[in-house]
Structure 1
Amino acid sequence: MSTESLAEPVNRVRPRRLGSLRLRLTLAVPLLAATVVGLFEWSLGGFEPLADGLARIAWLVLLLSAAQLLLIDALLLRPLRRLAAGCEAMESAPVPLSPEAAVPAPGRIAELDRIGHAMLRARGSLWQQDQHARELRRELAQQRDQLQEAHSAIEAHQRELAGLVRTDALTGIANQRAFDEALRREFKRAQRQRGLLAVAVLDLDQFKQFNLAHGTAVGDTALRRVAALLKERFKRDTDVVARLGGEEFVTLLPGFGMAEAQSVLESLRDDLRALRLPDGQGSLTLSIGLAAASPAHPYLSAQALLQAADEALYMAKHAGRDRLSLAA
């Protein structure tokens, strides 16, 4: 059966349905209008006025029905007719059913082939670009890791350099720079809190002759052992032991007055005499100059306190060495 033969019954059915709908509306609308007008007139005066004004009611029903039918035709029936006409036009359009009708022309085939090849090339190019982007991301990740490692190494070197700047390379204790900072800090604290602060400058007696007799290697070992002895003797958190240079050391003792510091330092001199030097090479003695700041004996500055201890050391040296001298 052909498409035209199937479409014919459908095309006949649609006008019939529209005509039936128009007929039903033509019958229903006057009845509805008469009912509405009759109810309205009855509500105004009852049945007797309704019978007297029958002609007028008939004219009202006729006019109201005509107006409603015109509105229904304009708003409903005409759009339905246009819709039906469009459907009939779509159904009456020829539809190719044979396979030959669906086969494109040879020129179209060649054009479609070119488009397909172009799409394949574009897909391959996109795949290569994606691979290249992945390689770049991997390289960037590796470089970022390397930069982080380099940054960590630089920070470690900076910490090491900062430690070297504040540490004596030979003995491992604080150097003069670190001691000067601690002295200024503790001096200000002692002034603020009206506390005690003792400073002792220590010098190994005849150390140049010791180096000449035993060699600088033995002398360096002796300096390291003296530094270890000082760290062991002065091990409070607030104590500071430093090497000023050569064979000269210094101790900072917060909270110690002259008497307390003197007692500890005399004991240190005894410990140094008993110190075992490398291979039993000779013995060492200490000359010490001690100064202490207190509310009863204040100093104008931290440098003045250190200078007083240094002058006391000078007096100990000239008094015969191997002794402790107190600042005036």
Structure 2
Amino acid sequence: MLKHRRLPFSLLFAAALLILTMAAGSYVDLRYEEMHSRQLAISTGLEKIDRFNQQLSAMLLVSVLEQNILKSSSYQNVHAKLELDVGMVESLTQGLSLADDVTALSQERRNLRQVELNAYKLMEQEHWQAARTLLFGDEYVLARKIYEINSETAIGALNGELTTNAARFNQIRNISLGLRFAALGLLFWAGMMFSQRLRHELKEQERLREEITSVNIQLEEKVQERTAELEEANRKLADLSITDGLTGLANRRHFDEVFKNEWHRAKRQHLPVSIAMIDVDQFKLYNDHFGHQEGDACLRRIAAVLSESVQRSGDLMARYGGEEFVAILPGMKGSDAVKMAEIIRQRVQAEKIAHSDTSLSGIVTVSIGVGSRIPQSSDAAVLLLNEADTALYTAKNSGRNTVVLLDGQAAVPADKPE
């Protein structure tokens, strides 16, 4: 009968060590893969959140600048995708030390999105100015800047924490690999292959991150450039929409809008407001004699005189139609408005623009009717326009080249200086 031999302690230890290291190594590998997948998912989610945020803001800015809601037709879909990614990142970051920061950042983002949603609703209702005020207001711009700074800080800190966790797990794994190498060289070789593959993936991830960052920077520069171009184009369009093409003065449309606002303001604050209606004397005769091109040139010269004469902050000089101009003089009493009108009349006369031989004075002159009121609650704005028009009619019938004031009572010719 063969005597039973006990296995060497070293073999039993090696076998036990092999089993333990394989079990521990399997556990570490599993945790490492979970952590690696989690890190990739968080990084990808953060990049998508940043991209969607930029896309949403760009859509709304372009829409409000171009006043075209179709530019934001995909807003709701992109917003829904953003919310899904935010929920995923918040779920994945639970348990990390920066989870509260991520939650706070998400709340800031939701506050910004709420402002943008409000602006989007206003755009749907075609309240473009209100939407523009929301998106270009100091409060929103500051909140967005703070969010971007906090976002960059949180992302950097989160990546740092994930990197630290990765390094710690990698160290444990290397120790496990060393123990498995002592038990079995094959495990060491497999661990080296896995380590090389991991390093390659990390390098590739870093390369992709740098590439995405570069693309995002280029995209942001293009968006900023395009935004600047759109703002300039919109500014020019806005100027064209309120400017008379011949004289460069405000047009009738802009006059109507400003006069309405100034009338209501004067009514609220019980302040005087004056209107000066200015008409070029015998202009039809001028056109018939010199031709329409010279007539246009004459109107431009007179417009230049009017523009130089009315320069108070809040005043507006506009072309009312044909050879007729109108000045809005907020806060100015009738007597002061007459003085300004007389200065205008004298300056036009001083230009000595030659008229036809059949004209009264031989040079181009203007007649001016001035209306002035402190609006009462029951007064309509057209009342002041009618008074200025009546005063102008009186000036015309009084021999032209004169100023007449109508301040709610009778028309009174202004005294001409000696």
The TM-score range, normalised by the shorter chain, is 0.5 to 0.7
Q: How many Å separate the matches in 1 of 2:240 and 2:348?
A: 27
Count the aligned residue pairs: 223
2:402 alignment counterpart:
323
Q: How many Å separate the matches in 2 of 1:308 and 1:298?
A: 18
1:173 alignment counterpart:
249
Alignment of 1:111-150 (within 5 A): 120=196, 123-150=199-226
Alpha-carbon shift at residue 303 of structure 1 (Å): 1.3
Change (3 A) 1:132 1:212: farther
Q: 1:253 aligns with which of 319, 322, 329?
A: 329
Q: 1:312 aligns with which of 391, 400, 413?
A: 391
Alpha-carbon shift at residue 201 of structure 1 (Å): 0.7
Q: 1:237 aligns with which of 297, 306, 313?
A: 313
1:61 alignment counterpart:
none
2:283 alignment counterpart:
207
1:291 alignment counterpart:
371
2:382 alignment counterpart:
303
**Counterpart secondary structure, 1:221:** helix
Identity %: 38
Give 1 or 2 for the bigger CA radius of gyration.
Answer: 1
Question: What one-letter code is carried by the residue in structure 2 that aligns with 1:234?
Answer: V
Question: What one-letter code is carried by the residue in structure 2 that aligns with 1:258?
Answer: G
Given that 2:352 and 2:364 are in contact with CA atoms closer than 8 Å, whether structure 1 keeps it comes out as no
Question: What one-letter code is carried by the residue in structure 1 that aligns with 2:330?
Answer: P
Change (3 A) 1:135 1:305: same
Change (3 A) 1:178 1:111: same
Is 1:164 the equivalent of 2:230?
A: no
Change (3 A) 1:138 1:211: farther
Given that 2:309 and 2:343 are in contact with CA atoms closer than 8 Å, whether structure 1 keeps it comes out as no
**Counterpart secondary structure, 1:284:** coil
Question: What one-letter code is carried by the residue in structure 2 that aligns with 1:308?
Answer: E
- Scaled by the length of structure 2, the TM-score of the pair is 0.45
Change (3 A) 1:136 1:246: same
- Scaled by the length of structure 1, the TM-score of the pair is 0.55
Question: What one-letter code is carried by the residue in structure 1 that aligns with 2:295?
Answer: G
Change (3 A) 1:125 1:132: same
Alpha-carbon shift at residue 172 of structure 1 (Å): 3.1
Change (3 A) 1:298 1:112: closer
Q: Deviations over 1:187-244 (max 9, x none)?
A: 3344444443321111112334434544544433332322222233222224322212
Q: How many Å separate the matches in 1 of 2:285 and 2:364?
A: 11
Given that 2:260 and 2:381 are in contact with CA atoms closer than 8 Å, whether structure 1 keeps it comes out as yes
Alignment of 1:1-328 (within 5 A): 93-94=9-10, 120=196, 123-275=199-351, 277=353, 283-294=363-374, 300-318=379-397, 320-327=399-406, 328=410
Q: How many Å separate the matches in 1 of 2:312 and 2:344?
A: 15
Change (3 A) 1:289 1:111: same
Question: What one-letter code is carried by the residue in structure 2 that aligns with 1:165?
Answer: S
